[in-house]
A and B are shown apart, each in its own frame.
Chain A
Amino acid sequence: MRPSPRAISLTVLSLAIVLITTWLIWIAWDATASDPMTTLAPLSDNADAVQGLYNFVTILAGIVMVGVLTLTLAFAVIFRERAGHEPQQIHGNSRLEVLWTLIPVAIVIAIALPSFSVIIDTTGDAPDDALEVVATGNQWWFEFEYPGLDVTTANELHLPVDRAVNVELRSEDVIHSFWVPQLSGKVDMVPGHENRLWFTPHETGMFLGQCAEFCGTSHANMRFRVFVHAPEDFDAWVASQAADAEPAQGDLALAGEKIATTLCAACHTIRGTNAVGQIGPDLTHIASRTTLASGMFENNSENMAAWLANPPGEKPGSIMPNLNLNAEQIEQLVAYLQDLK
């Protein structure tokens, strides 16, 4: 049966409509590659490997979508009821049905095989010389420890460029997920399980991460940042972080230190003082961090004062309670903490 000129032109028209739509989708799709948390601009080898597969899968998906949508649209317009046109009473066609069983089979095999190889590559062991980091999820912040380097920090992970990092993922409470879209796909932090994730960042810069497993009230506010440095910058950062906290200078800060080492010490550690609490983030070098409350606010005196005045008001569900500090105490604390570079 030869298709009629009408059928051909309607099919071409359908194809054109679907292609234009797909092209518009593609523009919007591609535009997301320049967003700060994009999944489409990989800057580590691990993310690269995923991306290659991702692109391939996307192209295949696009072709299938164009094909199915075009034919559906074309059939719908070509075969709409017209005077004098009788429907063909066909129940099926074995040859066609076998053919379109084989099409999806071929497509999924084409996707599955490279998937297997990327799975094997990315879930394998990290290289021996990888930097070891322990990342721990808490409601609702991240702790990063560098075993052997004597560094513990929170919500900001610093890494050297072009060196593999092997992140051990733990959780203290509920399930969280570690995700920095530009550096790596996500892996969950499951209490009682030892999950791992490794990647090699190959560009310096700051990358945004966020918890990607629903973990309670402030799940939306559980963000973190990854800083990738040149090797010498990374070493300098490690040296400064490994040092104890600087002693307070000036009356205001001294008064703040006193509060910090008594009131705050139950939950926070400030190395070099008697504050050794383990519940909240390590504050030894809090002033060196760019954000407060797990990526919620820029780290400055004003925001810190607001935070100290009422943590649950700033961050819903915050485990840190409102300590009912007065304005003077807050001023003193801020003076002290903002000196902890």
Chain B
Amino acid sequence: MATATGTLPQVQEETTIWTWLTTVDHKKIGTMYGISGFAFFLLAGLEALIIRTQLAVPNGAVVDADRYNQLFTMHALTMIFLGIMPLGAAFFNYFLPLMIGARDVAFPRLNALSYWVFLGGALLLTSSFIFGGAPDGGWFAYAPLSDEEFSPGAGLDFYAIGLLILGTSSLMASLNFAVTVFNMRAPGMSMMRLPVFIWMMLVVNFLLILSLPVITVALVQLVFDRNFTTNFFTPAEGGDPILWQHLFWVFAHPEVYVLILPSMGIVSEVLPVFSRKPLFGYAAIVFAGVAIGVLGFAVWSHHMFTTGLGTVPQIVFTASTMAIAVPTGIKIFNWMGTLYGGSIHFNTAMYFAVSFIALFTIGGISGVMHASPPVDSQQQDTYFIVAHIHYVLFGGAIVGIFSGLYYWFPKMTGRFLDERLGKIHFWLMFIGMNITFFPMHFLGLSGMPRRIYTYDADLGWETWNMVATIGSYMLALSIIVFLVNFFWTMRKEPTATDNPWDAPTLEWATSSPPPEHDFDVIPEVRDRDPLWYDRDHGIEKVEPPSEMHIHLPPPSYFPLLIGLGVLLLGVGVLSHLALTALGVVIVIYSIWGWALEPTE
């Protein structure tokens, strides 16, 4: 159980449900993050399809106003917190130890706990559709609309409690990952030899570690306002709704980078592999990523240009916001530099990676446009912004994630996703994405506000709305093609060798899929592109000793139990406090059991 013996035919125990529930293996946890994240991604996509169907024609009648407001709120919350973030976490879980040459993360049980708490929070938030109505105040939940007076239903309580639980999960995961990156690197893997994906995720972890506490405070204040008679955001009692906006965006702007940086990292891995040359300007890309992270904390008020900030704050936040264009530009140019002079092998992963550059650039450029407050005063809260965020988050984050999926799939499963279906998937998605989101620029220019469930005819909005809706169905089709590809591929025999792409990073130095202990022998790193260095210098892989005793942490059910306790805690706040008490008891009992559980 705790000891895998030799690399002889893997002594894999029979995998049961219990194995998954008690696993502390980062690869299994990553897989669970991936599957859950993808399921929620599909759910959020479905919500988007209903939204687009409603807006296909003027005065649409598919859903009513309240349901529509729930749908766009949940679409954002689900995509951001339950879709893209866990998908990024899935790759990071799976590949962080593999890419730095470790056998697991620093705290395997804490890692399992992060997942179970995430799943609990995700189910709680989503269950709001069944129990008393989903949150309908936008993912930003601006006060005082989110106060009890204007949102008396349970929706906003689900929002606050759900996000608090999800935040706890993200914080635990980020602390764990940050320690792993700092402390678990293989010999020779200095910080400036870390793969760019690891660097970007490290920045993500620090963004979360430093921004989650801020939204935690805001959510606590919201919960207190709604349930415990405080008036933090009630104007009539001296409260200030703008304070909520500040606290929210101090978190939520870094959150945007939390969503995009993982994909920037993935693309920085994929481009060099299939261009068959090293990443152009590694140091510049790393420092640009760090700079984006640091500047990300200094720009939050650009979401509030129209709130009457005043002249000087507008100028300051314009300057800081525009400054972010510089490191972003550096990254884009360096990716292009990576393509330059290469011998580019175009497979599906590379299609997605190259289109990432183009789509993300479009999103980045429109971002610079409304970094200028006067321009923003015309674009803020219109479909122009909807276009912008979807170019960044769909054209950027999602496209990057798919690139990573096609790239790492053989490593994770031993199987190659079908290239023909993959290219159909790519082209449907690429064209569908542009047909859906580019027209939204035009809608914004012609004055269509965001978050409206209906609009009148004769405003010039019919054509582009219909086009966008058609595009969204094309996106749905592309996802179906992907799913077909996935299930079909999983029925095939695994054929992948250790390093089928001739990639330079350490995860390709072990078998596909990797053994439970990741590496038979912890590799030694001699260069930023270790496997290419070894290849070019004729360094053979070290043969494992005939007899090995690799210590692996034993499985544990305490993470699952604590996750359950935390879920009960949240459910109790929303229903009956007795459940909360039960949750607290379970959590305390499990922490105690956890602390005494032998890990050796």
Contacts and interface: CB of A to CB of B under 8 A. Distances in A.
Nearest to A176: B145
A84 to B, nearest CB: 10
Interface in B379-427: 379-382
Given A65-B365, A87-B275, A100-B333, A108 B339 contact: no
Interface residues of B, number: 98
A177 B449 CA distance: 11
B500 interface: no
Given A50-B375, A123-B310, A38 B447 contact: yes
Nearest to B310: A123
B457 to A, nearest CB: 11
B65 A29 contact: no
A308 to B, nearest CB: 20
Per DSSP, are chain B's interface residues mostly helix, strand or loop, or mixed? Answer: helix
A196 to B, nearest CB: 8
A212 interface: yes
B445 A38 contact: yes
Contact of B442 (A28, A79, A88, A215): A28
B177 interface: no
A208 to B, nearest CB: 8
Contact of A214 (B142, B345, B376): B142
Interface string A97-110: 10011011101100
Contact of A92 (B239, B283, B326, B358): B283
Nearest to B448: A37
B547 to A, nearest CB: 40
Contacts of A122: 374, 377
Interface residues on A, range: 35 or more
A284 to B, nearest CB: 27
Contacts of B276: 81, 87
A39 B446 contact: yes
Contacts, number: 299
| Most chain B CB neighbours (cut-off 10 Å) among A61, A88, A115 | A115
Contacts of A4: none
B142 A54 contact: no
A185 B460 contact: no
B175 interface: no
B150 A53 contact: no
Contacts of B366: 61
Given A103-B333, A111-B372, A211-B449, 12 more contacts: A50-B374, A57-B369, A64-B365, A69-B358, A75-B340, A89-B277, A92-B337, A112-B319, A116-B315, A139-B150, A173-B150, A190-B241
21 contacts: A25-B438, A39-B382, A75-B336, A80-B343, A92-B280, A92-B284, A92-B334, A103-B329, A115-B374, A115-B375, A118-B372, A122-B377, A124-B311, A185-B374, A185-B380, A190-B308, A192-B241, A210-B449, A212-B382, A213-B381, A217-B66
Q: What are the 4 tightest A-B residue pairs by CB atom distance, in nearest-first order?
A: A185-B377, A37-B447, A35-B460, A192-B235
